Amino acid sequence: MAPNFEGKKVKVGVLGATGTVGQRFIVLLSEHPFFVLHALGASQRSAGKAYSKVVAWKQVRAIPHVVRDMVIQECKPEHFSECSVVFSGLDADVAGNIEAAFREAELAVFSNAKNFRRDPHVPLIVPLVNTSHYSIIQQQQQLHSPPLKKGFIVTNANCSTTGFVVPLAALEKAFGPIESCMITTMQAISGAGYPGIPSLDILDNVVPYISGEEEKMEWETLKILGGISTEDDGKKSFDMHSKQPLRISASCNRVPVLEGHTECVSVRFAKRPPPSPQQVREAFQAYTSDAYAMGCPSAPRHTVYVHEEPDRPQPRLDRDFQLGAGVCVGRVRECRVLDIKFVVMANNVAIGAATSSIINAEFALLKGYVA
């Protein structure tokens, strides 16, 4: 049975609080049932000033009152020592050192940055998929010298990977290994942060390239969908889906959409004959996350929502369903080249970013990984 958090409050901090992802963390945490915003970190330039005086607020919602006058701190562990959980929305150019320092200071860091995603001891967790990867944390702590007791880093995936890997996980759970997968993305501009994409580049246009994105999708998916293998000496490692090689080919595009990545996916199963479109639809509907089962308050009831209309999901109409915490699929049909194709739409600024980190932290707390 899930622990009861009624009435309990867990202090949390946000690193990179003035950035795009940081603002999303703040919006979500300001209304959270048990996380309480306690400390905000940003660059030295902003430190010492009231949050509302410094931030270039770009959210549709107004700045939450709770942070309006909160004084920004430098991103140093001593300012966050009372926080049980620290969320990082830092840019990749500074996230590495700062997150490592916070871990060393025995803080639990849930990061949206890419720096530690490829670390062999850091789990890359999409909370609707692979919470089992928390089992690597103990090793991450013990490898440290001296071994850590509470500090660790957990990352979530790149926004385009996240939407894609959830339905794949549902399919592997129902039908066994996927053998190959083609994906073409149509990604929202908010995925590039702020200021991000110049308007002159994207209005009335498609940019068929996002630097590093295809490699991220191909690599991260293997880490997330793979298991953790344990050697004779007890050492654990990510198996990168190696027991059944999974070939992934991604083509990434930027389109003039504010929020919501739309992705056309086609898969081939190892299982022959492959499942029918109807069986695939049912597998999607049946799929639920451990995070939801555990009672994580930010986990969506419908992990994969299946649209029956022929022209859905669409980012503008569907990105706010379940506050963007789930994944929408539609157009499940046969593929003449692989087996089955479908469309996925996931909110890149919700489950594709801050929401994932928050569910990850909720899960860690409920499971006892966080004190």
Which residues are near a copy of itself by CB under 8 A? 58-62, 180-182, 184, 186, 189-190, 194-209, 211, 218, 247-249, 251, 253, 255-258, 262, 264, 266, 310-317, 320-321, 330-331, 335-338, 341, 343, 345
Q: How far is the CB of 268 from a copy of itself (least distance, A)?
A: 8
Q: If residue 252 lies in a helix (H) or strand (E), which one and from where to where?
A: strand 247-254
CA atoms within 13 A on the CB side of 364: 34
Catalytic residue among 83, 159, 252, 328: 159
Pick between residue 119 and residue 218 the one whose CB is nearest to a copy of itself.
218
Question: Is 315 in contact with 345 (CB distance < 8 Å)?
Answer: yes
Q: Give yes or no: 159 in active site.
A: yes
Q: How far is the CB of 306 from a copy of itself (least distance, A)?
A: 14
Q: Which residues contact 67 (CB under 8 A, 6 or more apart)?
A: 17, 26, 30, 37, 40, 51, 52
Q: How far is the CB of 154 from a copy of itself (least distance, A)?
A: 28
Q: How far is the CB of 319 from a copy of itself (least distance, A)?
A: 8
Phi and psi at 249, nearest 5°, equal -130, 115
Q: Give yes or no: 264 in active site.
A: no
Distance separating alpha carbons of residues 76 and 100, to the nearest angstrom:
11
Distance separating alpha carbons of residues 138 and 143, to the nearest angstrom:
9
Q: How far is the CB of 305 from a copy of itself (least distance, A)?
A: 10
What 3-state class would DSSP assign to 71? strand
Q: Which of 83, 64, 66 has the alpha carbon at shortest distance from 75? A: 83
Question: Is 332 in contact with 264 (CB distance < 8 Å)?
Answer: no
Catalytic residue among 79, 121, 261, 307: 261
Q: Which of 110, 107, 114 has the alpha carbon at shortest distance from 141? A: 107
CA distances from 325 to 84, 228, 292, 328, 353 (A): 23, 26, 11, 10, 10
Pick between residue 85 and residue 280 the one whose CB is nearest to a copy of itself.
280
Q: How many residues are given for the chain?
A: 371
Pick between residue 264 and residue 366 the one whose CB is nearest to a copy of itself.
264
Pick between residue 36 and residue 255 the one whose CB is nearest to a copy of itself.
255
Pick between residue 2 and residue 62 the one whose CB is nearest to a copy of itself.
62
Catalytic residue list:
159, 261
